[in-house]
């Protein structure tokens, strides 16, 4: 934790005084702590307390240090953003993208890991609205430090008490470790479908949106990597700090990926590349004549096989979207294409394509298997890098 830069958001609740104790511990462990307080937080603890503990200014308004645009500057200079305690009100704002003060503006602008430690009355914590808001935050990759059961400010007992400081510190240490896990790595990731034109308005493709690959790229960036994303045609957007190379056809993806891979330490081929393309693309729209249209198909270049033949020391991870005998087919692909690991998912009946959830299994070596389970794609991306980082460390 030494020399880590932590942005600490403090919300208005009785547990705000515990944020002061947390700040003291973080400073003693060598962290640089910047504090943002909501108006309500200042009713419980004064900014002077945090200023004395951090020996740094405390930020309370969007309109101070305007020349620095504080909500942007603060998150750009931090390694992680922790909101402790987080009230039901602020959690609702985070879930729905409401930015009406410095803390929520900073959270909306943050591309760094976000840790949220809720604290509130049990009735508020268990209310369906709060439960749903917390679910949305988990899906977006926010790390939640669950509250504890115990004596509450209202002289009641129940869940909603701010998590123990030791638990919050442990979560922060884990998150901060992840932010450095891929430092120095240059990673190339392919994602999305390819489109192979029949004529100017028709093409051969598949249902991939590139979401899994984009989330894998986002997580690699959060862990300190330098990332190149070769992205097929999709409306999904990649984070701005990622170098994104937009392509359409398999040939274009091949031409973009191979040179980038030669300078990479890790390559993740998550794209759903069309194996075939029409042998010729008509220059004008093909008109209906009542006759059948026969389209001759030819093989596209095999990007993954080419990467396997020219690895140049890179750790190569492929993807296998299968509809039957998933792991058997995936393991055969692992061997045949000289991969270091392969992530297998079931795409029967449209599963796995589009937003929402996915389920992955990573196969490696002769019989190695790591089940990542099912979950939101952003959460799976974190599990993916946990597994790949551990496997690569053994090579």
| Pairing mode of beta strands 148-151, 157-161 | antiparallel
| 326-344 core/surface letters (b: 16 or more CB in 10 A; e: else) | beebbbebbeebebbbbbb
Cα–Cα distance for residue pair 160/145, rounded to 1 Å? 11
Residue in 48, 55, 49 with CA at minimum distance from that of residue 21: 49
What is the spatial distance between Cα 85 and Cα 215, in angstroms, rounded to a whole number? 28
d(Cα 120, Cα 134) in Å, to the nearest integer? 13
Cα 180 to Cα 3: distance, rounded to the nearest angstrom? 12
In terms of Cβ atoms closer than 10 Å to its own Cβ (0-12, 13-18, 19+), residue 352 is buried
Catalytic positions, written as ranges:
206
- The beta-strand segments (E) located in 293-340 are 297-299, 315-322
Coil, helix or strand for 185?
coil
Phi, psi (5° rounding) for residue 136? -60, -40
Structure tokens at 224: 């300190």
C-alpha to C-alpha distance for 86 and 88, rounded to whole angstroms:
7
Which H helix or E strand runs over 198?
strand 196-199
Alpha-helix runs per DSSP H in 156-268: 165-181, 211-222, 250-261
CA-to-CA dists, residue 128 to 92, 123, 169, 246, 267, angstroms: 12, 10, 28, 41, 42
* CA 283-287-290 angle, 5° bins: 145
């Amino acid at each position: 934790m030494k020399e880590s830069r932590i942005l600490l958001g403090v919300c208005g609740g009785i547990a705000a005084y515990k944020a002061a104790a947390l700040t003291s511990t973080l400073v003693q462990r060598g962290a640089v702590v910047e504090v943002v307080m909501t108006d309500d937080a200042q009713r419980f603890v004064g900014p002077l307390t945090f200023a004395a503990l951090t020996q740094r200014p405390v930020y309370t308004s969007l309109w101070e240090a305007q020349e620095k645009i504080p909500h942007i500057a603060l998150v750009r200079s931090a390694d992680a953003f922790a909101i402790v305690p987080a009230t039901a009100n602020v959690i609702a704002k985070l879930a729905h993208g409401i930015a009406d003060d410095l803390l929520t503006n900073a959270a909306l602008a943050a591309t760094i890991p976000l840790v949220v430690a809720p604290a509130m009355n049990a009735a508020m914590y268990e209310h369906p609205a709060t439960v749903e808001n917390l679910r949305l935050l988990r899906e977006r990759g926010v790390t939640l430090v669950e509250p504890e059961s115990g004596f509450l400010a209202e002289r009641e007992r129940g869940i909603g008490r701010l998590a123990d400081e030791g638990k919050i510190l442990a979560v922060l240490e884990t998150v901060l470790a992840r932010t450095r896990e891929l430092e120095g790595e240059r990673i190339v990731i392919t994602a999305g479908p390819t489109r192979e034109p029949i004529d100017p308005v028709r093409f051969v493709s598949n249902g991939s949106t590139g979401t899994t690959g984009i989330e894998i790229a986002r997580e690699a960036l959060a862990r300190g990597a330098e990332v190149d994303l070769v992205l097929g045609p999709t409306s999904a957007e990649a984070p701005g700090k990622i170098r994104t190379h937009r392509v359409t056809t398999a040939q274009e993806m091949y031409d973009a990926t191979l040179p980038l891979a030669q300078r990479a330490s890790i390559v993740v081929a998550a794209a759903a590349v069309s194996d075939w393309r029409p042998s010729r693309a008509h220059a004008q729209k093909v008109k209906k004549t009542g006759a059948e249209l026969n389209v001759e198909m030819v093989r596209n270049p095999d990007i993954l096989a080419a990467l396997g033949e020219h690895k140049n020391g890179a750790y190569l991870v492929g993807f296998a979207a299968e509809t039957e005998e998933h792991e058997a087919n995936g393991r055969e692909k692992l061997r045949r294409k000289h991969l270091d690991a392969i992530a297998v998912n079931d795409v029967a009946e449209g599963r796995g394509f589009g937003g929402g959830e996915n389920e992955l299994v990573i196969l490696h070596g002769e019989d190695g298997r790591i089940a990542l389970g099912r979950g939101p794609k952003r959460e799976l991306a974190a599990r993916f890098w946990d597994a790949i980082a551990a496997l690569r460390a053994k090579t």
